[in-house]
Amino acid sequence: MIAYDALLASGSDWTQLCRRAMFHGGESSATGLIAGCLYGLLFGLSQVPEGLHQYVDRRTRLEELGAELYKAASAERSTEK
């Protein structure tokens, strides 16, 4: 719930998201991960500092899998209509 609230309250401001979701006394690593993933889904990587994502292990493969998942989900939605 903290991750979701942080996302709503921060809008598209990455720094504000970090303050709200990642810097608190609770399970901040988990809420930070969830909030960061949701932020990426909504806004992409353009507003995330490059140093936080440019050297992710297996980044190319993860991007390929994401594209395949998006394609599969889009195809499924188009057949439901």
More confident residue, 28 or 17: 17
pLDDT band at 81 (very low <50, low <70, confident <90, very high): low
pLDDT value of residue 20: 94
Residue 18 has pLDDT above 80, yes or no: yes
Q: What are phi and psi of 3, to 5 degrees?
A: -60, -45
48 close to 58: Cβ distance less than 8 angstroms: no
As a whole number, mean pLDDT of residues 36-41 equals 91
pLDDT band at 36 (very low <50, low <70, confident <90, very high): very high
pTM summary value: 0.72
Q: Across 1-81, where does the E strand assignment appear?
A: none
